[in-house]
Amino acid sequence: MSCLVDGTIPPSSGLSSSSALVCCAGLVTMEANQKSLSKVALAELCAKCERYIGTEGGGMDQSISFLAERGKAKLIEFKPLRATDVKLPDGAVFVISNCCVEMNKAATSHFNIRVVECRIAAKMLARARGLDSSGLLKLAQVQTELKASLEEMLALVDEVLHPEEYSREEICQALDLTSEQFSTEVLSSNTQHVTHFKLHQRAKHVYGEAARVLRFQSVCSSEGADSIQTLGELMNQSHASCRDLYECSCPELDQLVDVCLKSGAVGSRLTGAGWGGCAVSMVPSEKVDTFLAGSEGVLLPSRSTQGSHGRFESLCVKARRGGSHSP
């Protein structure tokens, strides 16, 4: 099978270019071999492929790639994988802006370190509540086992995990693991060098973000008069949590989000894995022109050359109405 690969998604920008490539490869391979798989099966298979490559991500990007429908937002859930339609409010316009700092997840350990920290936090929470932590790898699994609400899990995080960094020795003692077991059973290949872990902050972000997702869906369903403002506030809370608790933002992204808010967005947050790339902003439709005028030509510091600057790029997407490029 000979393939020519091309694409228009900016690489390392938080817009799932790697997942798009893997999903495309899966479709092409299936077609070339005259096989047939459901969209759900394809999404799950492609998620496994990316983990095989070395990025310990979930399956959201692959799932929405296959399950998306034009003009609809989707709530993606797992175990089992399913997608639920979410009706975005009329008058909401989403603008994607790129700070132009590239983040290569496969070439760095930042992303996988966060996954490992969440894994350790899950085991610590499980053990504190008398669960067998050996088979628990995700914070969601602990919540399921405890049959607890997200609010109860947030309270448990505050009760069990201290905000100071954990050392390897403290974790091994708490989980009754040898140093060798910790390296082979908990850490991934590119996180073997890590000696200290922030567990409270990572778990607090994950459960808090899950609560915001469900709140976002609820606000959309209610179709209240102030829904756009409320959704914007949730997006702002999300970015603050990504920046302060999960620590996956960067100065350029934070500045970009600040520019977007000052230019008229009601909410703005990083998108994708973080550490660079894009922010997505919610802008009332009547303020789009003002927003674009206010952000056009804004210069952000560049890491590539001392003292140089670079413009960020924007893509304007109206909810349920397709998209249009801004200059």
In whole angstroms, give the CA distance from residue 312 to residue 322. Answer: 22
Q: In the chain, at which residue ranges do the beta strands (DSSP E only) sit?
A: 73-77, 82-86, 92-98, 166-167, 196-197, 267-270, 278-284, 299-301, 309-311, 313-318, 323-325
Q: Would you state the structure tokens that stand for residue 315, as one six-digit string?
A: 């893509």
CA distances from 224 to 130, 221, 228, 245, 282 (A): 43, 8, 9, 30, 16
Task: Determine the residue type at 285.
Answer: S
Rg, Å, the chain Cα set: 21
Distant-in-sequence, close-in-space partners of 310: CB < 8 Å, separation ≥ 6? 100, 299, 300, 302, 304
Task: Determine the residue type at 211.
Answer: A
Say how far residue 6 (Cα) sits from the centre of its chain. Answer: 25
On whether the CB atoms of residues 308 and 302 are closer than 8 A, the answer is yes
Please give the full DSSP string across 296-311, using - where no structure is assigned.
TT-EEE-SSSTT-EEE
**Long-range contacts of 73-77, Cβ-Cβ distance < 8 Å, separation of 24 or more:** 73/220, 73/319, 75/213, 75/217
In whole angstroms, give the CA distance from residue 197 to residue 287. Answer: 43
Which residues are annotated as catalytic?
61
In whole angstroms, give the CA distance from residue 48 to residue 42. Answer: 10
In whole angstroms, give the CA distance from residue 221 to residue 216. Answer: 9
Mind spelling out the 3-state secondary structure of 11-22?
CCCCCCHHHHHH
